[in-house]
Amino acid sequence: MGRMTKTQKKLDEAKYFLNQLKATDPYFDYVLSAFLNAARSTFWVMRHEFGKVPGWKEWFDAAEATREEQTLLAETNQMRIDSAKKGEMNTEYFFFEDKVIIYEESYPKLKELLDVPDGTEFEVTFRTVDDAERAPSGEDSVVLRGYVKREAERAPDPRAGIKRKCDEYFAFLAKIVDECHERFENL
């Protein structure tokens, strides 16, 4: 392969974000969204770049995805819709409703909370920032009580499964991009 094609560059962008996708990253959802967008647009870029090359359209349209590949495409497309269109993709393990925004500097404290032994009880106090000078009273703050769920009570962390699906999706894309380049790049 000579120069890097636009299609290869888009695939490399997807690979970059896939390599950043770590289950322990507080920004997992953001990186996932970036990966899905880059991966999804690989075929669009390919169509734009190779669409007028003789035989490409027929080759692309005739490509039959296996049942496993069809399932994979459907699942990753649903992830992309949840992430980008609905804004519903949220793998965070924080217990707050999505109306509460957690500032970045609070992540380490939340991480500490998640790392305490199962069954540990805790309290979270909410108060407005301008009340920080005085001790909170029952009238100007809300205290939520909770505990760290035992393993048996927890929903499985979806991140490892999502990462596996992304790895599979990338391998599928790379296979098609490689075949496209072998057949059509020098025509």
How many domains does the chain divide into? 2
Residues 32 and 84 occupy one common structural domain: yes
Residues 6 or more apart whose CB falls under 8 angstroms from that of 89 comprise 29, 32, 33, 79, 82, 83
Domain enclosing residue 117, as ranges: 104-150
Q: Is residue 46 part of a domain?
A: yes
25 and 79 assigned to the same domain: yes
74 domain-assigned: yes
Taking only the tens place, the pLDDT of each residue in 6-37 is 999 999 999 999 999 998 888 888 899 899 98
Indicate whether 1 belongs to any domain: no
DSSP designation for 134: S
Q: Of how many residues is the chain composed?
A: 187
- Burial bucket for residue 113 (CB in 10 Å: 0-12, 13-18, 19+): middle
| Residue 117 and residue 168 in one domain | no
47 and 82 share a domain?
yes
Looking at the fold, whether 19 and 71 belong to one and the same domain comes out as yes
The predicted-structure confidence for 111-146, as pLDDT tens digits, reads as follows 677 677 777 777 777 666 665 566 656 566 666 667
Predicted TM-score of the model (pTM): 0.63
Q: Is residue 98 part of a domain?
A: no
DSSP string over 45-93: HHHHHHTTSTTHHHHHHHPPPPHHHHHHHHHHHHHHIIIIIS-------
Identify the residue whose tokens are 């695939």.
11
Token pair, residue 131, equals 């009340």
